[in-house]
Amino acid sequence: MNLIEIGLIDGVLTGAVYALMAAGLTLIFGVLDMINIAQGIFVILGSYLSLILEQHLGIGLLPGLAITIPVMFLLGVFVEWAFIRRIGAENRVTMSILITYAVMIVVEGVLLLTYGSNYQSLSASYVTNSFDLLGHYIPEIYVYGFILSVAAVVVLYAILYRTRLGTSLRASMDNAMAASLVGVNVKRVSTLAFGIGVAVTAIGGMLFGAIQPFTPNTGYDLISRLLSIVVLGGLGSVGGALGGAMVMLIIEDVVSTVWSPTWAPLLYFAVLIVVLLVKPTGIFGRQAVRSQ
């Protein structure tokens, strides 16, 4: 296999994990009209929760999700209820950034206090094993991660398009005022959307922690990537987040295998800027999402 093919395969496999994390972010944006800066640290928190379950209770990574997903969901619901709900229409952009940033540094500080800044990693047999695909070794976790992420995205889509809650969610994303006029409880939907958006980070965090080592500081790097993905795909579009994640990760993996890992992130951001120059609403973005 040549380098470009290797980059493509790695990009698609890891892209699915990022797609899942970005889908949560864009869902929160769509319903609440805000950027959740804490999404990156929530992913890392998900990684640490998996680590705690595995190290102290001997619960494996996959079964552990049965615990971490509800925990992260409740955390999301709490954060929305306690802080996000207080943000008014005025200065909404700034306020949401500042509040979620404060949440982020609290979580980061707690993780640093308990675990320090040493690199941690999740381990299991399927994390360390890898298999041979035409001379290129692919870690098994990449494939499991891909399958799990795709499954989670399918579940997310099923919730969005096949349930009553999903209809309310999409109605609130399209137009919160109109949704509340036809009887959608936008407040409750917002809380649930934030909860679901954070809950996916439990899966994302477990996979992220299994793919690469992490520290509490990894959240900064992660959130900048997730935001780029979401904006590239078009803010508020779940499908766009999936497409954006694939495009970004394939570009990054191809560039880093073919050329150099040093400059791959630069290209990643450069693509974002070039795309926005041509189409300010992102690739799959709706026209003028809630203009001021």
**Site of interaction with another protein (CB under 8 A):** 29, 34-35, 37, 82-83, 86-88, 90-91, 93-95, 97-99, 101-106, 108-110, 112-113, 220, 224, 227-228, 230-231, 235, 262-263, 265-266, 269-270, 272-273, 276-277, 280-282, 291-292
CA distance 157 to 239: 9
Min. distance of Cβ 41 from another protein in angstroms? 11
Nearest approach in angstroms of CB 279 to another protein is: 10
Reading the block at residue 273, the tokens are 């800027």
Please, what is the minimum distance in Å from the beta carbon of residue 33 to another protein?
Answer: 8
Tokens 């409750």 found at: 188
Six-digit token pair at 196? Answer: 């679901």
Residue with Cβ nearer another protein (65 or 225): 225
Q: How far is the CB of 228 from another protein (least distance, A)?
A: 6
User: Between helices 92-115 and 39-56, what is the axis angle to 10°?
Assistant: 20
* Residue 36 or 47 with smaller CB distance to another protein: 36
Name which of 119, 142, 176 is nearest 6 in CA terms: 142
Q: Which is nearer to another protein, 176 or 210 (CB)?
A: 176
Q: Do residues 285 and 36 lie in contact, with contact meaning Cβ atoms separated by under 8 Å?
A: no
CB of 12 or CB of 283, closer to another protein:
283
User: Which distant-in-sequence residues (6+ apart) come within 8 Å of 110 by Cβ?
Assistant: none
CB nearer another protein, residue 65 or residue 230:
230
Query: Cα(58)–Cα(17) distance, rounded to whole angstroms?
Result: 24
The amino acid that residue 167 corresponds to is T
Minimum CB distance to another protein, residue 112 (Å):
4
Tokens of 156: 């997310």
**What distance in Å separates the CA atoms of residue 163 and residue 185, rounded to the nearest whole number?**
15
Phi/psi of residue 239, nearest 5 degrees? -60, -40
Q: Which amino acid is at 209?
A: G
Q: How far is the CB of 231 from another protein (least distance, A)?
A: 4
Query: Of 129 and 175, which has the nearer Cβ to another protein?
Result: 175
